[in-house]
Amino acid sequence: MGRLFGTDGVRGVANADLTAELALGLSVAAAHVLAEAGTFEGHRATAVVGRDPRASGEFLEAAVVAGLASAGVDVLRVGVLPTPAVAYLTGALGADLGVMLSASHNAMPDNGIKFFARGGHKLADELEDRIEAVYDEHRTGAPWGRPTGAGVGRVREYDEGFDQYVAHLIGVLPNRLDGLKVVLDEAHGAAARVSPEAFTRAGAEIVTIGAEPDGLNINDGCGSTHLDLLKAAVVEHGADLGIAHDGDADRCLAVDATGAEVDGDQILAVLALAMREAGTLRGEAVVGTVMSNLGFKIAMEREGITLVQTAVGDRYVLESMKEHGYALGGEQSGHVIVLDHATTGDGTLTGLMLAARVAATGRSLADLAGVMRRLPQVLTNVRDVDKSRVTTSAELATAVSEAEHQLGSTGRVLLRPSGTEPLVRVMVEAADIEQARAVAGRLADVVKSALG
């Protein structure tokens, strides 16, 4: 079988790829692997289990809870909460394992399972590989060793998690949001209750959209992947800013008072300056990826802040932050990690901190985000080519060199083979959108001829 775990847990179409049997089996396997690793040694194991509002989350949650309890793990069911809330509660409650059922920004038919280790951190790759191997072993034959009698896990609702998480969010804010009017688009997702409650307790006047999840409407034309509704609502209500989350609220994008988008790079730029001012930007650096807009890098260099760039994916951003002790990192998509207060991207926390900066400075979000000029970026996918030869083709290397010479210091070229498809992504940034399109078109042609 192919690898089940991707870069962000196990995902697929619920009840087709991701079945109740798979969810149950993976949960039992996770319990066995963590027990083998000594995680449960000397005490009775506990897991925190949460989900987003997808209809399929109901049966998948039941399967995960059944699997864990059958393996002797006590379960605290926290219900519908954001992914970062489950991560936070896993750490705060001293649990041995956290499980979140969500497919994040994906469409409603999908779902996913994400495991968190003790402390609320993502599982290491080797543990995911071991869970998958153990699951496969038992799926094809060997029976599980199961506890009986008092050894089985006990299950209880943990309704206190909601208030505990909201209190944490308010507690880490540098200042209140009194006087701000904020529109919140909750994507009919996991933050539909949490985010409005947190912003209200912090002092903001709020307008909510996308905050009526029915199990079927998550991410449907709203949230961080569809900003048009939020842009219109911000202008209509005369709000100071708008905040958009995705289905599990680990992302945050924003809209300024004019209805213009403020993306993840701009949010990182605003927060980097705020944290440096507060003395919390360790290493005078922020971590992004190779897809970070060149305008972001130019702005940080001008401000005396180093932009450390990693491969695409929040797990690589997080690895770099942990390895070097950096406090802030994230992606253009709005996945922002503030490591002093969260172990993963937290969209509600990001939105609160962005709003807090607006409130503290008295400046508009447009003015604050103006610290960087987002350079036009053109992304072209070239399909059905031999992506393995991207780094070895002399013809392609010459074309890239010529393009880089033409763009100079005000532009950038990036060629990336897809990790999952037979295609190469051509990304070009330039001060002028037409120049970016022209250069991207020429490079795409060379990719086709050289690698086709």
pLDDT in tens, the chain (452 residues): 457 887 778 999 999 999 999 999 999 999 999 998 888 888 999 999 999 999 999 999 999 999 999 999 999 999 999 999 999 999 999 999 999 999 999 999 999 999 999 999 999 889 999 999 999 988 877 788 899 999 999 999 999 999 999 999 999 999 999 999 999 999 999 999 999 999 999 999 999 999 999 999 999 999 999 999 999 999 999 999 999 999 999 999 999 999 999 999 999 999 999 999 999 999 999 999 998 999 999 999 999 999 999 988 888 999 999 999 999 999 999 999 999 999 999 999 999 999 999 999 999 999 999 999 999 989 999 998 888 888 888 899 999 999 998 998 889 999 988 766 778 999 999 988 999 999 999 999 999 988 88
Residue 220 assigned as binding residue: no
The amino acid at residue 328 is L
At which residue do the structure tokens 């001829």 appear? 449
Coil, helix or strand for 86? Answer: helix
CB 307 within 8 A of CB 285: yes
The Cα-based distances of 341 to 168, 170, 180, 192, 261 in angstroms read: 9, 11, 23, 21, 26
Residue 104 assigned as binding residue: yes
Domains in the chain and their CATH numbers? Answer: 10-159 (3.40.120.10), 163-369 (3.40.120.10), 377-451 (3.30.310.50)
Angle at Cα 430 formed by Cα 426 and Cα 433, nearest 5°?
90
Which of 27, 56, 102, 104 is labelled catalytic? Answer: 104
List the one residue out of 26, 60, 49 whose CA is nearest residue 138: 26
Predicted model pTM? 0.92
Angle at Cα 155 formed by Cα 102 and Cα 53, nearest 5°?
25
Residues forming a β-bridge with 336: 330
| Residues counted in the chain | 452
> Residue 26 burial (CB < 10 Å; 0-12/13-18/19+)?
buried
Residue 248 assigned as binding residue: yes
Measured in whole angstroms, the distance separating CA 136 from the mean position of its chain's CA atoms is: 28
Query: DSSP string spanning 311-367?
Result: SSSHHHHHHHHHHHT-SEEE-TTS-EEETTT-SS--HHHHHHHHHHHHHHH---HHH
Q: Does the annotation count 409 as an active-site position?
A: no
Residue 129 assigned as binding residue: no
